[in-house]
Amino acid sequence: MSSEPVTSRPTLSTARVIEAAVALADREGLDGLSMRELAQRLGVVPMALYKHVANKDDLLDGMVDTVWAEVEAPSSDLGWREAMRRRSISLRSALLRHRWAVGMMESRMRPGPANLSRHDAMMGCLRRSGFSFRTTVHVTSVLDAYVYGFALQQKTLPFGTPEESGETAARKLEATPPELAAMYPHLLEVVAELARAGYDYDAEFLTGLELVLDGIEQLRPGWATADRAPRPPIGGHG
Amino acid sequence: MSSEPVTSRPTLSTARVIEAAVALADREGLDGLSMRELAQRLGVVPMALYKHVANKDDLLDGMVDTVWAEVEAPSSDLGWREAMRRRSISLRSALLRHRWAVGMMESRMRPGPANLSRHDAMMGCLRRSGFSFRTTVHVTSVLDAYVYGFALQQKTLPFGTPEESGETAARKLEATPPELAAMYPHLLEVVAELARAGYDYDAEFLTGLELVLDGIEQLRPGWATADRAPRPPIGGHG
DNA sequence: ACCTGAACACCGTTCAAGT
DNA sequence: ACCTGAACACCGTTCAAGT
């Protein structure tokens, strides 16, 4: 009696709605994601979606947690530096696959389970590696700022590949009227160099990441001697 | 004959439209900024705006350059580190005053004159301070990522002042069901510490900024010896 | 020539009518 | 009880009609 539906259109579910919404946003951007368009792609009437998500904001909550689920949770087995490096690279990769998610990863009012578990793993890794509470916050703050900020820049800048960036820069350079070139000599000089040598986002990200990790290494209290959380310094943390 | 209009409503101009749009976005956010609402606040019919801006995107271009005009251009007189510190703080302040602008500062396809002049000053300061072309790009990339990323986090996170953040965290903590507390022990531990000691965005930003500046100091070729651009190392930059 | 109201093609969501 | 079409209050922008 209860024969499986063999059609290519499985019945709607919250998971399927979220999955389709992510796919739509990946392809068309956040502006292209409307409840009406999403419904059409799923072959249902717009109001049918509201059986599976409370509203668009609820849908976005689910989409963001889908992205979090793709982020590698740091494990303290690797040592904090390798763990933080891998998590940062993994977070950036997820944000490259889902550019619409940049700026939404920390903003949801009701964080989902994947979000919570990844943050818990981050805190656990740092605390177990001997960072104090306060320093754990510093590390999280500066690393997240760097990764989110870099992803934001890349999402936002007008070129993709190294070659493309060189070409874009070169074209812009040629199109620059002489009076502008005279007003912004240093900017033009650097853009010309980029046009010559190309601009590789991945390499740039890794360079900056090591720079930030070096800074964190210095921040770690007792980094040169102890391997576990030392007693707090007399003056507090300031 | 041509008597000055003494009314409180001066005639419309591009500058006045942009100014009003910035004020509206500051107060109501980007979502609250519609051409219709903006027109109403200016006491004109919606279509009247299109005499002064080509479309909404053109309006946003103008708004972003208004924010750039508030950013202090770095001067190499101060030394690169102090100059970069001041520019970063100034950029963040502008983004705090105009939160809607986070994520739009580098994304405009037709950058305005204030944008170009600030970027030119940045490049000029770094080049004059002895950074190579390539290292100048690294410095710009990592500093901008940090400032934009931090501003994005702050815009996005649900609390404002240190006290408020403590209270918010404490309230969330109390509202946490025991089964969740057991699943995310490290996260809860850190949040509890934040609830106790408070979370000061300004202090956090400055801490991370010095960390990044320390990293940049290491990046600078010839930083220990020369004060002007050294000849490039034999192996290139790697 | 200038200005602008109505219209077009959208949006998220409510709500009442239909099965 | 469930589903859904029409409706509501928006949106940016076009375009033709009015002065």
pLDDT of amino acid A121: 96
Distance A197 CA to C8 C1' (A): 48
pLDDT grade, residue B155 (50/70/90)?
A: confident
- What average pLDDT does range A204-225 have in this prediction? 83
pLDDT grade, residue B181 (50/70/90)?
A: confident
pLDDT of amino acid A219: 80
pLDDT of amino acid A76: 87
Tens-digit pLDDT profile for residues A112-156: 999 999 999 999 999 999 999 999 999 999 999 999 999 999 987
Q: What value does the mean pLDDT of chain A take?
A: 85
B149, B187, B190 ranked by CB distance to A147: nearest: B149
B107, B187, B189 ranked by CB distance to A156: nearest: B107
A117, A136, A149 ranked by CB distance to B190: nearest: A136
pLDDT of amino acid B199: 86
CB–CB contact B137 A215 (8 Å): no
B110-125 burial: b if 16+ Cβ within 10 Å, else e:
ebbebbbbbbbbbbbb
Please tell me the least confidently modeled range out of A38-52, A56-70, B18-32, B172-186. B172-186
How far, in Å, CA of A202 to CA of A206, rounded? 6
- What average pLDDT does range A77-103 have in this prediction? 96
Tens-digit pLDDT profile for residues B111-148: 999 999 999 999 999 999 999 999 999 999 999 999 99
Whether residue B238 lies within 8 A of chain A, CB to CB, comes out as: no
Distance A25 CA to C18 C1' (A): 34
If one compares B214 and B156, the residue with the highest pLDDT of the two is B214
Please tell me the least confidently modeled range out of A107-116, B146-155, B202-211. A107-116
Tens-digit pLDDT profile for residues B61-97: 999 999 999 999 999 899 999 999 999 999 999 999 9
Distance A15 CA to C3 C1' (A): 52
Query: What value, to the nearest 5°, has the Cα angle with vertex B135 and ends A223 and A98?
Result: 80
The minimum CA-CA distance between A100 and chain B, rounded to whole Å, is: 12
Residue A196, pLDDT above cutoff 90: no
8 Å CB contact between A69 and A114: yes
pLDDT of amino acid A221: 63
| Residue of chain A nearest B198, judged by CA positions | A134
Residue B213, pLDDT above cutoff 70: yes
pLDDT grade, residue A65 (50/70/90)?
A: very high
Protein-contacted bases of chain C (C-beta within 7 A): 3-6, 10-15
The answer for residues whose C-beta is within 8 angstroms of residue B216's C-beta and 6 or more apart is A211, B81, B84, B138, B139, B142, B143
Residue A168, pLDDT above cutoff 70: no
- What average pLDDT does range A208-212 have in this prediction? 97
Residue B101, pLDDT above cutoff 90: yes
Percent of chain A with pLDDT over 70: 80
Which residue segments constitute the domains of chain B, with CATH numbers given?
14-53 (1.10.10.60), 73-154+212-224 (1.10.357.10)
Residue B235, pLDDT above cutoff 50: no
The answer for residues whose C-beta is within 8 angstroms of residue B146's C-beta and 6 or more apart is A142, A145, A146, A149, A212, B88, B208, B209, B212
**Neighboring chain A residues of B183 at a CB cutoff of 8 Å:** 116-117, 120
Query: What value, to the nearest 5°, has the Cα angle with vertex A75 and ends A71 and A78?
Result: 120
> Count of CB atoms within 10 A of residue B88's CB?
24
Whose CA is closest to B206, among B164, B150, B159, B161? B150
CB–CB contact A148 B152 (8 Å): yes
CB proximity B172–strand D (7 Å threshold): no
- What average pLDDT does range A164-181 have in this prediction? 69
Whether residue A144 lies within 8 A of chain B, CB to CB, comes out as: yes
The minimum CA-CA distance between A201 and chain B, rounded to whole Å, is: 10
CB pairs under 8 A between A and B: 173
- What average pLDDT does range B49-71 have in this prediction? 97
